[in-house]
Structure 1
Amino acid sequence: MTFKSILTHIDIDARPDHRFTFALNLADRFDAELACISAAQPFFMIEPSIGPTSGTKIMREELEAIETRQRDLHEQIMQHAPFRNHVSWQTKAADPATFVVENARAADLVVLFDVEKGQALDYRRTVNIGDVLLAAGRPVLLPSASQSSPDARTIVVAWKDTKELRRTIVDAMPLLTSAEDVAVLAIEEGQGVDEKALTDTVRFLTRHSVRARSIVEPRQTGDIGMAIIDVAHRLKADLIVAGAYGHSRFREWVFGGVTRTLLQNNTINRLLSN
């Protein structure tokens, strides 16, 4: 199993260089096709005080601005890959997350980036990553803030015996099989750790030629997600693999959860799947 098609979204308000380089290096590593897309919606909302003619004019001007910016992004990206036939480009004036989900049907892996410093968190112009995780049916790789390509020599699998993690392990197999060390990390909770389930997971990975081992950490006070990140940094891992939204998304938003912590903390590369 490998990644043969990788999809990435280039935000209209972001600098494309580092994002494209990250995605291109990943595609080169797996000899995969790289599909680059970009979508945005106009800011303008028609108000009662604005006549229909004026409203139509403003809407057209905003759409033209989006198209101009998307052409600029394409030119910048092609400067990095002028002769690479496996790189494609597609744009649309649409909701970014919806456009990503539509195109994910032809991808093995989706690469999405956090908003940059100074970039507005406006889901008309950047992707709502949570929406993509729930709807795409594909693993989503979230690069760290440094956007350095993951060697993935040491990987931490945030273990919990859930269907989401089982799915994610299979989705991440191309990276897991090439790693030098895969630590299947269990954080002790109130009922302790199901040792048999943890051992079964390590055995499954070993059968697929993954250099896997288990680690059990006592739960300290605080967020489980941060405990996972702390262990990953301690092991000098550069990728965390985790299932997404084991609880409802609303519950995670209200009470917090591992997925929300991993989405918000970009000090390390993360691969999530639902």
Structure 2
Amino acid sequence: MKSILLHIDQDAAFPARLQVALDIARETNGHITCLQAISYDIFTPGDVYGAAMAAALPVIRDNAEAQRAAIERELAHEGVPWDWHFVYGMAGQRLIEASPLADLVILGPAENGMGGRGPSSLVGEVVLKARAPVLVVPGEAKSFDIGAPMLVAWNGSAESAHALRAALSLLACSCKVTLASIAEGEGPGGFDLPSTEGARYLSRHGIDCEMVAIPRGEGGIAETLEAAARMRECSLIVMGAYGHARLAELLFGGVTRKMLSAPELPILLAH
């Protein structure tokens, strides 16, 4: 992961994702691009004459500059190369525009203006449209051990294959990779690609893995995957995002949506 795109915001999870970005950059000799975006759009619906925008923008700019100064002071002592991009516009769109030459985009799980209730709309937008995998870091993360065990959620879909391929450089550093599939019974949800194909792909890149089939727990697929990762002391879950129709995900709550509501450990997503 030589080029890491880090979303700068003042949400509670930011210190965690900054630390994770630093840990990954150190281990991979990577470069961190800090992207800080301020949008005028948040004032548009109820601010016909622009009065609220005119009053609030100087405060928002001052807060953004104060945050930038504090982060730059910290980065100056971390020994990791970095640069800073300050832009106007919606954060999701600006991150997507900056993603084509990024190896990884790092976001928080609850950057949705809802106090952390439910999955982030920003994450969903960036995962679906960015040209790079997205690493979602929960606010409770203290660090990222790149050599720890990692779990790949495998359902044989193109999305899970994309996620596996996108995570390759991180998986290569792991002491143990588990390719986990959830047994859901027979039916149209069967695997397009068996887990043996995923294992064969990893082996071509010099990565051994353990293939496991895990019975689905009473709590559902998301809870089953998280429990399997905890049991193996994993530092990361890798999974394909929005494998079903996005409308169905939003209406009925797919695995991706549930995993992002309150992730217990970092999740690497690719669509």
Q: Quickly name the TM-score band, shorter chain normalised.
A: 0.7 to 0.9
CA-CA distance at 1:12 after TM superposition: 3.6
Note the alpha carbon deviations across 1:20-56, whole angstroms, 9 max, x for none. 2322222122111100111132443365xx7x7xx34
**How high is the TM-score relative to the length of structure 2?**
0.87
- Please state if 1:59 is matched with 2:57: no
Q: Which amino acid aligns with 1:106?
A: L
Report the AA paired with residue 172 of structure 1.
Answer: A
Aligned partners of 1:10 and 1:19 also within 8 Å = no
What do residues 227-267 of structure 1 show as CA deviations (whole Å, max 9, x unaligned)? 11111111111210000000122211211211112111321
Structure 1 counterpart SS, 2:6: strand
Task: Report the Cα offset of residue 121 of structure 1.
Answer: 5.6
Q: Does 1:112 align with 2:111?
A: no
SS in 1 for 2:207: coil
2:98 & 2:269 partners in 1: Cα distance?
18
Aligned counterpart, 2:32: 34
Q: Supply the AA of the counterpart residue of 1:144.
A: P
Aligned position for 1:144? 138
Q: Which amino acid aligns with 2:43?
A: F
Structure 1 residue aligned with 2:220:
223
Alignment of 1:1-274 (within 5 A): 3-14=1-12, 16-42=14-40, 43-45=42-44, 55-82=49-76, 86-115=81-110, 120=115, 128-152=122-146, 153-191=148-186, 197-274=194-271
Distance in 2, matches of 1:89 and 1:101, equals 16
User: Where does the alignment leave 5 or more consecutive residues of structure 2 unmatched?
Assistant: none
Q: How many residues align?
A: 263
Identical amino acids, percent of aligned pairs: 30
- Aligned-CA RMSD value: 2.6
Decide which moves more: 142-151 or 237-246. Answer: 142-151
Unaligned runs of 5+ in 1: none
Q: Which segment drifts farther, 171-180 or 63-72? A: 63-72
Q: Which has the larger radius of gyration?
A: 1
Secondary structure of the corresponding residue to residue 128 of structure 1: helix
TM-score, normalising length: structure 1: 0.86
